[in-house]
C-alpha cells in the first residue's frame, strides 16, 4: 500500500522554526514543474516530457561506432531480429544480427581492392578515396530481399539476395533516390531527384513505369497507403501529394508552410480504425538552432483520450511511495487556454520543423512545432518517434494526447538521421559522428538531474526540498545540494555537494547560506522495469530580514493649469528584498537645523502632499523612512531612510525698494530695484491709472536671471494732473507682489 507523507505539516513546522529564530516571517518557494523549468538543468539517463515530468530514460547501448570513412547513418530497417542500415559517403550497407556486424556492400572483395588502392606506404588512409556515393533508403520486397537506393555517380535501385547484388532499376534522368515504398501487393515505388519523379516497379522489379513528374526538384519521401494511393513529400514547396498509380494522376493533399517534407508514415496503431498519415516537414536552410526543446511550451491542458489515462496508483498498486508537494495558491496563468492548432498555410513560421497529422478525409492538424530540424521518423508502440538535428535528440510524440518526451540525446553526434523499431527496442543512427545505438525497453539503472541555479536574490537559508512523485517499489530518489554566491556554476567557491539523502518525506537541505542553490536528484531502478516519476520539485528559501532601501526621494511643487499652488508632492522609490509590506514616515527640517519635524506616520502610499503654507519660507530637507514592521516581529523589524536634496519653500512675492519717481514734461520715469530672497525673478508688468492692459517691463540688463534686477519704466504723453502707476512683479514660482505709486504731471 502507498505510504503518504504529511508534507504540509512538515512545511508549517519549518516556517515556525524560522520565524522564532529571528528571520523574516515570509519564505519563498521555488518550483520546477514545467518542461521549460526542468530543461534549464542538466540530465543524464533521464527524460523530460512536455508535461514537465522527470523519469529514468531507457537503457542506451552503442552497438557500432567504428566506421571507416563513414559520416552518417542514413536509414535503418528492422526485419525481425535483423537490423539493416546504410551510410554516407562510400554508400555502405550493413547487417547487425545477434551481436554480429556484417558489411553487405561493398563486399569483402571490393573492400580489399579498395584498401589496396587507397593505402600509402605508411598504411594511412587516403582521404581522397572517399566516394560521393550515398544510400538514403532501404526496403524489403515481398520475397524478403533487401532493396537499396544508391545516389551519386551511379543512381540505381539494387536488390540483395543470397546470390549477391543486382541492379534492377536505373532512372536515366536522376541523381538521387530518396525513398522506396512498397504497397500491399508488392509494387515498388521509387522517389527521385533532381527532376522530382516517382516510378513504379512490379513486385519482381522487372518493369518500371513513370507514375508522376512534379514541378519540384526532389521527391524526398514516400508512403504507400492502405487505400491503394501513394503519398509523396516534396522539397522547395513542401507539398504532400496523393498519387493514383492506376491513371498517373495526382492531387495536392497539403501545402506545408515548411519547404521540405522529409518523411511520411502511416499509423499502425490497432486502436485507430482509420489509419492517419503523419508527415514531418522542416526548413533545411536552418543551420543553428537555439534551445529547441526548452522553447516548446505546451498549451494549457491536453486532448482527452484513452492514451491519457495514467497508470495512476493513487493508493499504491504494487507498493512504493506517493509524495506530494505542500499546496499553495498558484499564480494565475500568464496566457489564456487556446484551441487545438489547425494547420493553415499562412505567415512566416516561427519554428523550423513540424509534425502534421492528416486524416483519410484530408483534414490536417499540427501536432507539434519546434525550433529544431526534424530529420527522421518511425512508428513506435507508444507513438511517433522523431530524430532531430542539430542536437541529436530523439523525441517521442503521443498523437492522441500531443504529449512529448525527449527519450535520448547524444552528446557527441550532431544529428539523428536514421530510426528503426524492433519490438520495444529503438535503433538510432547518428551523423557526425556515425553511430548505431540501441535504446532498450528497460529503464536505465540510474539517472541524475542537476538543476539550474536557483536565485534567492540575497544570501539565503535553504529549507526543505519536496517532490510530487510516484516512486514504485524497487525504485529510489535521492537528493544532494550545494550553494554559492556567484552566478557561475563552475566557480570554485561553491560548496561541495552534500551526501545524497533518500527522499521519503520533505528533506532539509544542508548547504551553507548562499544566494544561489543547486539540487541534484538521483533516480534509481533496481530491476529496470519501473521508474520513479517526478512531477514537481519545490525548494524553500528564507532571506534573513534586511532593512528596506529608500532608493530616491523627490520633492516637487505641484502646478495646475490655472497657476501656482502651495502643495509640494513628496514622492519616493523603495525596495525590500524580503518583499515585506512597508509603511512610511515623512519628516522635514529647515536646512542647518538638527531636529526633524514629523509630517505623517505609518503612511502607506508612495507619495504625500505637503501644504507649504504651514511653514515659513526657507530651504528645507525632507526625510522618508520606510519600515517593514508589519511583516516582522518587533524584534526583527527594520527601517531604511533617505534625505532629499534641499528644496526651497517660497510663498512670498518679491520685494520692491530703492524707488525713484520723476514726473515732468508729460512723462513719468520710475526706477526701482526688485529683490526675492530665494527665487529668480520672472516678470515685471505695469499699468497706468488702473488700465486692465498691463505693459511689460524689461530689466536694465535685458535678462531675467537672478534674484535681484533693476528696472526703469518710462510712461510718456500723460495729461497734466494726478496719475497712478501700478507695478506687478512675479518670481519663478509665480509669487506676485503689487505696488502702486502716485505721480503728478505738470504741463511743463
Cβ neighbourhood burial of 643 (10 Å; 0-12, 13-18, 19+): middle
Rounded-to-integer distance, Cα 29 and Cα 14, Å: 13
Mean pLDDT is highest, among 344-358, 559-573, 599-613, for 599-613
Q: Give just the sign of the alpha carbon dihedral 715, 719, 720, 723.
A: negative
Calculate mean pLDDT across residues 11-26.
38
Fold of 549-649: Immunoglobulin-like (2.60.40)
Q: What was the pLDDT predicted at 79?
A: 87
Say if residue 128's pLDDT is above 80.
no
User: Options 3.40.50.300, 2.60.40.650, 1.10.3720.10, 2.120.10.30; which CATH number does 655-745 get?
Assistant: 2.60.40.650
Within the chain, which residue ranges are assigned CATH 2.60.120?
3-56+446-542
Q: What is the side-by-side strand order in the sheet with 156-161?
A: 134-140, 146-151, 156-161, 164-169
Q: Considering only residues 458 and 687, tell me which one the structure prediction assigns the higher pLDDT.
A: 687
Strands (DSSP E) along 283-335, which ranges?
A: 321-323
Rounded-to-integer distance, Cα 449 and Cα 444, Å: 14
Q: Helix-strand-coil percent breakdown of the chain, rounded to 5?
A: 5, 50, 45
Say if residue 91's pLDDT is above 90.
no
Calculate mean pLDDT across residues 625-638.
92
C-alpha distances (whole Å) from 643 to each of 558, 653, 694 are 20, 28, 43
Rounded-to-integer distance, Cα 713 and Cα 668, Å: 8
Q: What is the side-by-side strand order in the sheet with 219-224?
A: 219-224, 230-234, 239-244, 249-255
Q: What was the pLDDT predicted at 344?
A: 38
| Among 355, 519, 226, 554, CA closest to 510 | 519
What does the CA dihedral 203, 208, 214, 219 come to, rounded to 10 degrees? 50
Fold of 3-56+446-542: Jelly Rolls (2.60.120)
Say if residue 745's pLDDT is above 90.
no
Say if residue 272's pLDDT is above 50.
no
Which pLDDT tens digit goes with each residue over 290-322?
A: 233 233 334 445 555 444 444 444 444 456 778
Residue 598 near residue 625, CB atoms below 8 Å: no
Q: What was the pLDDT predicted at 724?
A: 95
Which pLDDT tens digit goes with each residue over 154-171?
A: 899 999 998 899 999 999
Beta-carbon contacts of 740 under 8 Å, excluding residues fewer than 6 positions away, are 724, 725, 726, 727
C-alpha angle 594-598-604 in degrees, rounded to nearest 5: 135
Q: What was the pLDDT predicted at 19?
A: 37
Which pLDDT tens digit goes with each residue over 530-546?
A: 999 999 999 999 888 88
Calculate mean pLDDT across residues 654-659.
92
Which pLDDT tens digit goes with each residue over 504-530?
A: 999 999 999 999 999 999 999 999 889
Rounded-to-integer distance, Cα 57 and Cα 444, Å: 6
Residue 198 near residue 240, CB atoms below 8 Å: no
Rounded-to-integer distance, Cα 456 and Cα 16, Å: 20
Rounded-to-integer distance, Cα 266 and Cα 264, Å: 7
Place of cell 489547425: 342
Place of cell 511653514: 615
Q: What was the pLDDT predicted at 132?
A: 77
66: pLDDT confidence band, cut at 50, 70 and 90?
A: confident
Q: What was the pLDDT predicted at 284?
A: 61
Rounded-to-integer distance, Cα 456 and Cα 30, Å: 9
Q: What is the pTM of this model?
A: 0.63
Q: Kindly report the average pLDDT of the chain as a whole number.
A: 85
450: pLDDT confidence band, cut at 50, 70 and 90?
A: very high
Calculate mean pLDDT across residues 261-270.
85
| Among 671, 665, 659, 677, CA closest to 717 | 665
Range scoring the smallest mean pLDDT among 338-342, 522-526, 663-667, 727-731: 338-342
734: pLDDT confidence band, cut at 50, 70 and 90?
A: confident
Rounded-to-integer distance, Cα 118 and Cα 130, Å: 9
Q: φ and ψ at 203, to 5 degrees?
A: -55, -25
Q: What was the pLDDT predicted at 6?
A: 34
Residue 281 near residue 258, CB atoms below 8 Å: yes
Say if residue 3's pLDDT is above 50.
no
| Among 19, 11, 33, 37, CA closest to 578 | 19
Q: Residue 739 is placed in which grid cell?
A: 505696488
747: pLDDT confidence band, cut at 50, 70 and 90?
A: confident
Within the chain, which residue ranges are assigned CATH 2.60.40.10?
549-649
| Among 633, 679, 632, CA closest to 653 | 679
Within the chain, which residue ranges are assigned CATH 2.60.40.650?
655-745
Say if residue 248's pLDDT is above 50.
yes
Residue 584 near residue 622, CB atoms below 8 Å: no
618: pLDDT confidence band, cut at 50, 70 and 90?
A: very high
How many residues are listed for the chain in this entry? Answer: 748
Say if residue 181's pLDDT is above 50.
yes
Which pLDDT tens digit goes with each residue over 103-115?
A: 999 876 555 555 5
Which pLDDT tens digit goes with each residue over 555-569?
A: 998 876 666 678 999
Dmax over Cα atoms in the chain, in whole Å? 143
- Residue 678 has, within 13 A of its CA and on its CB side, a CA count of 16
- Pairing mode, if any, of strands 3-4 and 321-323? parallel
Say if residue 174's pLDDT is above 90.
yes
Residue 278 near residue 357, CB atoms below 8 Å: yes
Q: What was the pLDDT predicted at 560?
A: 66
What does the CA dihedral 549, 552, 556, 559 come to, rounded to 10 degrees? -90
- Pairing mode, if any, of strands 197-201 and 188-193? antiparallel
Amino acid at each position: 500500500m502507498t505510504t503518504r507523507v504529511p508534507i504540509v505539516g512538515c512545511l508549517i513546522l519549518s516556517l515556525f522554526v524560522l520565524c522564532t529564530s529571528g528571520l523574516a516571517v515570509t519564505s519563498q518557494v521555488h518550483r520546477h514543474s514545467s518542461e521549460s523549468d526542468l530543461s534549464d538543468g542538466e540530465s543524464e539517463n533521464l527524460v523530460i516530457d512536455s508535461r514537465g515530468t522527470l523519469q529514468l530514460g531507457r537503457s542506451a547501448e552503442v552497438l557500432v561506432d567504428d566506421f571507416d570513412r563513414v559520416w552518417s547513418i542514413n536509414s535503418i530497417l528492422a526485419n525481425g531480429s535483423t537490423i539493416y542500415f546504410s551510410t554516407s559517403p562510400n554508400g555502405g550497407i550493413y547487417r547487425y544480427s545477434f551481436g554480429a556486424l556484417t558489411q553487405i556492400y561493398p563486399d569483402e572483395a571490393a573492400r580489399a581492392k579498395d584498401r589496396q588502392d587507397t593505402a600509402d606506404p605508411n598504411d594511412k588512409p587516403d582521404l581522397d578515396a572517399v566516394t560521393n556515393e550515398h544510400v538514403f533508403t532501404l526496403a524489403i520486397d515481398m520475397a524478403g530481399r533487401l532493396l537499396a537506393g544508391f545516389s551519386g555517380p551511379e543512381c540505381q535501385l539494387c536488390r540483395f539476395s543470397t546470390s549477391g547484388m543486382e541492379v534492377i532499376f536505373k532512372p536515366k534522368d536522376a541523381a538521387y533516390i530518396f525513398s522506396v515504398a512498397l504497397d500491399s501487393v508488392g509494387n515498388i515505388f521509387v522517389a527521385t531527384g533532381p527532376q522530382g519523379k516517382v516510378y513504379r516497379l512490379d513486385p519482381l522489379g522487372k518493369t518500371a513505369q513513370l507514375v508522376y513528374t512534379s514541378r519540384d526538384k526532389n521527391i524526398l519521401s514516400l508512403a504507400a497507403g492502405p487505400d491503394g494511393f501513394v503519398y509523396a513529400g516534396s522539397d522547395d514547396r513542401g507539398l504532400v501529394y496523393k498519387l493514383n498509380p492506376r491513371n498517373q494522376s495526382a492531387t495536392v493533399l497539403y501545402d506545408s508552410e515548411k519547404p521540405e517534407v522529409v518523411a511520411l508514415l502511416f499509423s499502425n496503431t490497432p486502436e485507430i480504425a482509420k489509419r492517419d498519415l503523419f508527415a514531418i516537414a522542416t526548413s533545411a536552410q536552418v543551420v543553428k538552432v537555439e534551445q529547441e526543446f526548452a522553447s516548446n511550451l505546451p498549451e494549457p491542458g491536453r486532448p482527452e483520450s484513452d492514451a491519457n489515462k495514467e497508470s495512476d496508483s493513487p493508493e499504491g498498486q504494487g507498493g512504493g511511495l506517493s509524495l506530494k508537494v505542500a499546496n499553495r495558491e498558484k499564480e494565475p496563468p500568464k496566457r489564456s487556454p487556446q484551441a487545438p492548432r489547425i494547420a493553415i498555410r499562412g505567415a512566416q513560421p516561427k519554428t523550423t520543423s513540424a509534425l502534421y497529422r492528416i486524416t483519410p478525409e484530408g483534414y490536417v492538424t499540427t501536432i507539434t512545432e519546434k525550433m529544431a530540424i526534424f530529420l527522421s521518423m518511425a512508428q513506435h508502440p507508444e507513438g511517433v518517434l522523431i530524430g532531430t538535428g542539430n542536437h541529436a535528440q530523439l523525441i517521442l510524440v503521443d498523437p492522441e494526447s500531443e504529449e512529448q518526451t525527449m527519450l535520448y540525446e547524444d552528446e557527441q553526434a550532431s544529428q539523428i538521421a536514421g530510426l528503426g523499431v524492433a519490438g520495444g527496442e529503438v535503433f538510432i543512427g547518428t551523423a557526425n559522428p556515425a553511430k548505431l545505438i540501441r535504446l532498450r525497453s528497460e529503464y536505465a539503472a540510474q539517472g541524475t538531474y542537476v538543476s539550474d541555479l536557483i536565485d534567492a536574490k540575497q544570501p539565503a537559508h535553504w529549507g526543505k526540498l519536496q517532490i510530487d512523485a510516484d516512486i514504485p517499489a524497487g525504485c529510489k530518489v535521492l537528493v544532494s545540494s550545494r550553494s554559492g554566491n556567484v552566478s557561475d556554476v563552475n566557480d570554485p567557491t561553491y560548496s561541495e555537494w552534500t551526501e545524497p539523502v533518500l527522499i521519503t518525506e520533505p528533506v532539509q537541505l544542508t548547504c551553507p547560506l548562499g544566494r544561489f542553490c543547486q539540487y541534484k536528484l538521483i533516480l534509481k531502478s533496481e530491476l529496470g522495469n519501473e521508474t520513479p516519476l517526478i512531477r514537481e520539485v519545490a525548494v524553500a528559501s528564507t532571506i534573513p530580514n534586511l532593512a528596506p532601501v529608500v532608493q530616491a526621494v523627490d520633492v516637487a511643487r505641484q502646478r495646475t493649469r490655472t497657476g501656482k499652488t502651495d502643495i509640494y508632492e513628496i514622492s519616493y522609490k523603495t525596495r525590500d528584498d524580503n518583499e515585506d509590506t512597508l509603511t512610511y514616515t515623512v519628516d522635514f527640517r529647515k536646512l542647518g537645523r538638527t531636529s526633524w519635524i514629523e509630517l505623517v506616520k505609518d503612511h502607506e502610499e508612495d507619495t504625500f502632499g505637503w501644504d507649504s503654507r504651514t511653514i515659513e519660507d526657507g530651504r528645507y530637507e525632507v526625510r522618508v523612512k520606510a519600515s517593514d514592521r508589519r511583516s516582522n516581529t518587533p524584534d526583527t523589524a527594520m527601517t531604511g531612510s533617505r534625505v532629499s536634496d534641499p528644496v526651497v519653500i517660497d510663498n512670498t512675492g518679491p520685494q520692491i525698494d530703492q524707488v525713484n519717481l520723476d514726473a515732468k514734461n508729460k512723462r513719468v520715469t520710475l526706477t526701482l530695484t526688485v529683490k526675492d530672497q530665494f527665487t529668480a525673478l520672472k516678470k515685471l508688468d505695469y499699468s497706468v491709472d488702473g488700465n486692465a492692459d498691463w505693459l511689460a517691463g524689461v530689466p536694465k540688463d535685458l535678462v531675467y536671471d537672478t534674484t535681484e534686477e533693476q528696472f526703469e519704466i518710462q510712461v510718456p504723453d500723460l495729461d497734466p494732473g494726478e496719475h497712478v502707476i501700478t507695478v506687478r512683479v512675479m518670481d519663478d514660482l509665480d509669487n506676485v507682489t503689487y505696488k502702486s505709486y502716485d505721480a503728478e504731471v505738470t504741463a511743463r
